A and B are shown apart, each in its own frame.
Chain A
Amino acid sequence: MKERFQVSGYMVRRNGIPPKTLVLTFGISFLCHAVLIGAMFFLPEYRKPMGNPFPSAINVSLVSFSAGPPAGEVSVAGVAVAQAKKAGLKKEAPVIKVEKAEQIKKAVSLSPKKIPAKKVETSKLINKAIKNIEKKVDESRSATVARAIDRLRNQVESSDNLKTAGVPGGGIKTGAPAGIPGGFGTGTGGGTGGAVGAIDIYKAEIYYRIQQNWAYSEQLGGSNSELMAVLVIKIMSGGEISDIWFERKSGNRFLDESAYRAVQKSNPLPPIPQEYDRPYYEVGLRFETGGLKQK
């Protein structure tokens, strides 16, 4: 400790420490700065909390049919869904067809050269197929999600035992057929410990609960562009939401309010998993809307 004080007073007093020390001091200082500043750029995840050192990501991206899709959409969307059905949707392993969903989005905004043609003959078949699928999804949505959560839980339990490198790549994929709400994809990259897996399941549960309670009318919101509101919630161990605040408002009153309502309607959430060893859990909720896909 004594030496440290001498060093810190070195530059003021010049009390006999050789220039070599000075060079080394600055050298070390420079290295520390370089490493830490570099880390800021190359490791965006460095801000992870200490208690959760493993990279974990849940990325839930869905497209759902609006209450009554424009018929223009239906012609193309219908084909996509019909194809999905034709391809054989297995009850055990439904797969998110994100590409199809993107097709639906594109179909809404037509460039002058791409207006869909001659779908007239297939309209009845397509409508029938959509009705069937919607009916099935309505019936099985809750069951699908419950099953998905169970499956996640089983996966994590077995991975606990195996202690392997975690679930590879895209992780566990589960969900409903193309563009239908109620499904989600979640994956854990890298090694997964028990607590991380449990918290991932918990995040999926939070997602499902809040998404179910989110009512937002894009017609009422009236925004043509993509918007995002970010709320942070503090969940106590019993699941009670003790605090809600905006990390970022979207600038659109309807979206901000709808997000806040969705959270309030979801209170209380399920209890925090026991594996999570902290008294509360804070999580950010990014409410995103794709706008009306037309300008």
Chain B
Amino acid sequence: MTFFFRYAVILISTYISFIMPASSLAGYDYIDINSPFLRKIPIAVPVFGADGANETGMQLSKKASDMLSGMLDFTGYFKMLDRDSFIEDPAKTKSDASNIYFPNWTAVGAELLVVGNLQIKGGVLEIELRLFDTIKAGQLIGKKYSAGVNDLRDVIKRFSGEIIYYLTGNRGVFDSQIAFVSSGTGNKEIYICEFDGSNISQFTRNKAITIFPAWSSDGHWIAFTSYIRGKPDLYIVNTRDRSMSVVAKKGINITPAWVPGKFELAATLSYSGDQDIYLLTGTGKEIKKLTNEWGSDVSPTWSPDGKKMAFVSSRPGTPQIYVQDINNGHAERITFYGRYNTQPSWSPKGDKIAYSGMNGGRHNIYTIGLDGKDPVQLTGNTGDNESPSWSPDGSLIVFSSTREGPSRIFVMTAFGTDQRRLLAISGEQTSPKWSPGLNNKQP
């Protein structure tokens, strides 16, 4: 029997010798890290250099770097690091990878670094801008721009777009505008501002209630409803040459929404006696009736592919949001909670619809999946929040809010974070509509 025991020992030790080394190789413990300390990417934007520049040049480079900081901050992706904490003297920062000592930037927590250099030669602005990865100590983007001194903002917008493009694959919101309604003049008129609330200009001077602005997908047309002739008619205006078409049928002509990629729009008309949504040409000619059920059908919004339309219908007895297939005309209700769900806005990514819902006497912004699942409340406890509209890249939502008293235009990320006021001018501001990207085709 000793033979068998010895044999067994040999067999077992052979098995062990096979298995143990393998387990030692992969043998380590794990640490679970499931909560990032920072939910934004820390980025340093020191004041740009201004080689051989006079006082004006220095001020311009400060202005340029501040402008870039502001635009990047606006996106909600970044944590802008405080310049006071920087180890390197920003004025001496050379915009050349060989001169940057990256540990100085990682030490202050930066993962990305933008350096720039600005020169004015004979009234022409020359700016070199570079984005660096401080951890990998490498340049990610390097661009050189020549422009007039007054075009500084355009240059900065362009470079901001480059940064966002590098990180996300789309060019962000920098080339977009926002149309909204303001009552500052005593009448509700349509105004337009840039994506960040700057450069506000009055678009209509109708001296009559003018509401429901809607951008065409190329940004060249704005349709709106105005009471110029004493009743709500639909106006379709070219943003450049101001050429115009009018839809002034009997009854109301309201809530226009352009079909993506086409010179066509949907709007609610009531000449038949019932408020239904019609498809119209860009010149206001009727193509076909899209909704047929009895009850009010208003506020259409198109899916990005233009094959479906969401709208508000009163057919269940209360205003609720429906999604309709344009080809077969089949409509399905997607909102079931609350008695008042209106103002749908289809996300540019196509997966969600933002809307305004009333609950407990307050309007708030929600998003919901196309199947009606997972409604998420984005605003709350802050007055009435209405009229959501997605940014062209789908990362932000603009809306109106009464949280400060009078209605103002606010913006937040698509997940409800970073809510802030976009602008404050006299009167009340409502019904913001974010334009498409207006220079998307430019590199």
Which residues of A approach B to under 8 Å, CB–CB? 3-4, 7, 21, 24-25, 28-29, 32, 36, 46-50, 52, 56, 58-64, 66-75, 108-113, 115-120, 123, 126-127, 181, 199, 203, 206-207, 210-220, 222, 230, 232, 258, 260-262, 264-265, 282-290, 292, 294-295
Can you spell out 10 A-B residue pairs with CB atoms less than 8 angstroms apart?
A: A47-B27, A49-B28, A61-B32, A70-B380, A70-B417, A73-B416, A115-B338, A119-B380, A215-B37, A265-B106
Extra 11 A-B pairs, beta carbons < 8 Å, given A3-B6, A70-B377, A219-B414: A48-B23, A64-B39, A112-B335, A217-B39, A217-B40, A218-B39, A260-B135, A265-B135, A282-B28, A285-B30, A286-B34
Closest CB in chain A relative to B167 CB, distance in Å = 6
- Interface membership of B369, Cβ < 8 A: yes
- Interface membership of B87, Cβ < 8 A: no
B30 touches A216 (CB 8 A): no
B375 touches A115 (CB 8 A): yes
B35 touches A36 (CB 8 A): no
Given contacts A68-B418, A120-B381, A294-B367, contact A24 B33 (CB under 8 A): no
Residue in B12, B36, B38, B377 whose Cβ sees the most chain A Cβ within 10 Å: B36
Residue in A52, A207, A214, A217 whose Cβ sees the most chain B Cβ within 10 Å: A217
- Interface membership of B227, Cβ < 8 A: no
Closest CB in chain A relative to B14 CB, distance in Å = 9
By a CB distance below 8 angstroms, the chain A residues around B336 are 112
B7 touches A261 (CB 8 A): no
A215 touches B40 (CB 8 A): yes
Interface size class of B (residues with CB under 8 A): 35 or more
Closest CB in chain A relative to B20 CB, distance in Å = 7
By a CB distance below 8 angstroms, the chain A residues around B364 are 72
By a CB distance below 8 angstroms, the chain B residues around A4 are 6-7, 10
B374 touches A219 (CB 8 A): no
Which residues of B approach A to under 8 Å, CB–CB? 3-4, 6-8, 10-12, 15, 19-20, 23-24, 26-42, 76-77, 79, 106, 109, 111, 135, 167-168, 335-338, 357, 359-360, 362, 364, 367, 369, 372-382, 395, 412-419
By a CB distance below 8 angstroms, the chain A residues around B357 are 115
A72 touches B376 (CB 8 A): yes
Given contacts A67-B40, A283-B28, A295-B373, contact A219 B417 (CB under 8 A): yes
A258 touches B29 (CB 8 A): no
B380 touches A72 (CB 8 A): yes
Partner of A58, one of B31, B416, B417: B31
Closest CB in chain A relative to B350 CB, distance in Å = 13
Q: How far is the CA of A64 from the CA of B34 in the complex (A)?
A: 10
Q: How far is the CA of A212 from the CA of B42 in the complex (A)?
A: 12
Q: How far is the CA of A213 from the CA of B33 in the complex (A)?
A: 11
A264 touches B27 (CB 8 A): no
Partner of A181, one of B24, B35, B418: B35
Closest CB in chain B relative to A273 CB, distance in Å = 14
Closest CB in chain B relative to A228 CB, distance in Å = 9
A284 touches B41 (CB 8 A): no
Q: How far is the CA of A74 from the CA of B403 in the complex (A)?
A: 15
Which residue of chain B has its CB nearest to the CB of A288?
Answer: B34
B337 touches A115 (CB 8 A): yes
B374 touches A294 (CB 8 A): yes
B11 touches A28 (CB 8 A): yes
Partner of B37, one of A24, A59, A213, A219: A213
A68 touches B35 (CB 8 A): no
Q: How far is the CA of A49 from the CA of B21 in the complex (A)?
A: 9
Closest CB in chain A relative to B170 CB, distance in Å = 11
A220 touches B372 (CB 8 A): no
By a CB distance below 8 angstroms, the chain B residues around A118 are 360
Q: How far is the CA of A73 from the CA of B419 in the complex (A)?
A: 13
Given contacts A64-B35, A286-B30, A294-B376, contact A71 B23 (CB under 8 A): no
Q: How far is the CA of A292 from the CA of B379 in the complex (A)?
A: 16
B381 touches A206 (CB 8 A): no
By a CB distance below 8 angstroms, the chain B residues around A295 are 369, 373-374
By a CB distance below 8 angstroms, the chain B residues around A112 are 335-337, 372, 375
Q: How far is the CA of A218 from the CA of B415 in the complex (A)?
A: 10
Given contacts A67-B418, A109-B374, A220-B41, contact A215 B28 (CB under 8 A): no
Closest CB in chain A relative to B81 CB, distance in Å = 11
